[in-house]
């Protein structure tokens, strides 16, 4: 009787396995024609990657092999290079202007986090956009957790989506502070202008009145307040810029890998093509590009180091989890049992450069054209 029960469960697992493989094959055929996959050798690795069984990741034989050594070298070498780049830019309060050979350090004034790129755009408009973006992202994240549970944080996509949500939450708080500072500075300028008009009387030449008034108003500010602003504000501004540059890379990498690799070729657990899946891989990029179009922040090449460290931490997190528990890999190309695993890790590492570079190109083009088309209004 016990043997029959054992055979029954064995047969049940076998049937479930056959159904699962047929489901994957049908999905692959639907997304990409089978005859096309058979005729392109490069795509065969995708097909075989998603159909192979899950191996036991807790055994020593899984980890102590040449594939792990090469993959670990790729990951840790990237982290070391990123840390070296950050160490060379160790003064977190300053950024290089990058103009010509005589490059000068430009101290952050602290208003880059909340100041729009054009004078005609009020800081309240940027605040409204950031609050709307934060609400949409937070709602989508909560809905995804409600549908799939906390297991969604097993994916890099949810790490990225959470990071973007934190970015817009932090951006909203800084924009509230920026609106307060903007209103405060407007009141101060009006008061100083009235006081200077009383001191000058009607005898000041009109041609030079605006220039002199503006100069005197700048010197009439409280030096203690200005010093406090110059010391405290850049800390938050630089922290915010780190988040901006991390998201610049992670968002591009997440969406590019999904739409170019996962969606056409792979089938992931709990990742059926649905509205929430599309939302998770489009909304983050759209909103981040919208914020980049409005704000004054710039993307620097050394900022890619934060992006590399973020991805490396995720890979190490996956290795730690799989070393303790034998479970499925969220992304098949992370599986170290694949013969081409080192090549996959190298390709994903190299993919960081075009993803970050493309976002940097978009932001640099925005600053270039705005400075040319609106020279009197451009304030970045």
337 belongs to a structural domain:
yes
Euclidean distance between CA atoms 150 and 202, whole angstroms: 71
* CA-based radius of gyration for the chain: 27
Average pLDDT, integer, range 367-374: 91
Higher pLDDT, 367 or 101: 367
193 belongs to a structural domain:
no
Euclidean distance between CA atoms 350 and 258, whole angstroms: 16
Instruction: Find residue 306's DSSP bridge partners.
Output: none
Q: What rounded mean pLDDT belongs to the chain?
A: 75
Of 47-51, 238-242, 248-252, where does mean pLDDT reach its minimum? 47-51
Task: Specify which of 23-37, 62-76, 99-113 reaches the highest per-range mean pLDDT.
Answer: 62-76
Q: List pLDDT tens digits, range 28-59.
A: 334 444 443 344 444 444 444 444 445 788 89
222 belongs to a structural domain:
no
Average pLDDT, integer, range 107-115: 68
Tokens of 28: 């692959």
How many CB atoms are closer than 10 A to CB 218?
Answer: 11
If you ran DSSP here, which 8-state letter would residue 260 be given?
A: I
User: pTM for this one?
Assistant: 0.74
CB 179 within 8 A of CB 123: yes
How many CB atoms are closer than 10 A to CB 50?
Answer: 18
> In sequence order, what are the residues at sequence separation of 6 or more whose Cβ sits closer than 8 angstroms to the Cβ of residue 217?
188, 189, 192, 193, 196
15 belongs to a structural domain:
no
Higher pLDDT, 310 or 339: 310
257 belongs to a structural domain:
yes
CA–CA distances in Å: residue 362 to residues 138, 293, 339, 365, 367: 26, 9, 37, 5, 9
Give CA angle at 321 (355, 279), nearest 5°.
Answer: 40
Q: How confident is the model at residue 243 (pLDDT cuts 50, 70, 90)?
A: very high
11 belongs to a structural domain:
no
Print the domain residue range for 337.
62-93+108-173+228-373
Please say if the pLDDT value at position 219 is more than 50. no
At 237 the pLDDT is: 79
Q: Where are the alpha helices (DSSP H) in the chain?
A: 2-31, 34-39, 41-51, 60-63, 66-88, 123-148, 156-200, 206-219, 223-257, 263-265, 275-280, 283-294, 304-324, 341-373
Euclidean distance between CA atoms 44 and 220, whole angstroms: 72
CB 251 within 8 A of CB 284: yes
Q: List pLDDT tens digits, range 262-293.
A: 777 665 554 566 778 888 888 999 999 999 99
Please say if the pLDDT value at position 251 is more than 90. yes
At 266 the pLDDT is: 64
At 21 the pLDDT is: 46
Q: How confident is the model at residue 151 (pLDDT cuts 50, 70, 90)?
A: confident
Average pLDDT, integer, range 326-339: 88
User: In total, how many domains does the chain have?
Assistant: 1
326 belongs to a structural domain:
yes
Q: How confident is the model at residue 351 (pLDDT cuts 50, 70, 90)?
A: very high
85 belongs to a structural domain:
yes
Share of the chain above pLDDT 90, in %: 38
If you ran DSSP here, which 8-state letter would residue 54 be given?
A: P
Euclidean distance between CA atoms 46 and 37, whole angstroms: 9
């Amino acid at each position: 009787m016990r043997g029959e029960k054992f055979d029954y469960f064995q047969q049940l697992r076998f049937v479930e396995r056959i159904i699962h493989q047929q489901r994957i094959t049908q999905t692959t055929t639907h997304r990409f024609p089978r005859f096309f996959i058979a005729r392109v050798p490069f795509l065969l690795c995708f097909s075989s990657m998603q159909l192979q069984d899950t191996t036991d990741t807790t055994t020593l034989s899984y980890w102590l092999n040449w594939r792990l050594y090469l993959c670990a070298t790729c990951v840790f070498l990237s982290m070391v290079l990123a840390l070296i780049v950050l160490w060379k830019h160790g003064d977190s309060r300053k950024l290089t202007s990058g103009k010509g050979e005589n490059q000068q350090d430009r101290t952050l004034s602290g208003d880059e986090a909340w100041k729009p790129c054009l004078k005609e755009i009020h800081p309240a408009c940027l605040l409204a956009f950031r609050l709307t973006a934060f609400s949409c992202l937070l709602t989508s994240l909560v809905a995804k957790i409600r549908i799939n549970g906390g297991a969604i944080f097993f994916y890099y996509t949810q790490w990225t989506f959470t990071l973007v949500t934190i970015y817009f939450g932090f951006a909203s708080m800084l924009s509230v502070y920026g609106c307060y500072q903007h209103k405060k500075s407007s009141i101060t300028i009006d008061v100083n202008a009235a006081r200077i008009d009383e001191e000058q009387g009607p005898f000041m030449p009109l041609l030079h009145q605006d220039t002199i008034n503006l100069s005197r108003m700048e010197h009439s500010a409280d030096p203690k307040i200005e010093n406090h602003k110059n010391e405290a504000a850049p800390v938050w501004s630089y922290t915010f810029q780190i988040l901006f540059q991390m998201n610049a890379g992670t968002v591009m990498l997440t969406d590019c890998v999904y739409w170019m690799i996962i969606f056409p070729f792979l089938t992931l657990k709990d990742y059926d093509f649905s509205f929430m899946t599309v939302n998770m891989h489009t909304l983050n990029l759209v909103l981040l590009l919208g914020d980049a179009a409005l704000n004054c922040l710039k993307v620097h090449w050394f900022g890619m180091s934060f992006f590399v460290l973020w991805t490396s931490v995720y890979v190490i997190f996956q290795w730690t989890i799989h070393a303790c528990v034998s479970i499925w890999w969220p992304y098949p190309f992370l599986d170290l049992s694949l013969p081409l695993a080192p090549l996959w890790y190298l390709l994903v590492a190299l993919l960081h450069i075009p993803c970050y570079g493309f976002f940097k190109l978009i932001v640099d083009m925005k600053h270039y054209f705005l400075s040319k088309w609106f020279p009197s209004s451009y304030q970045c």
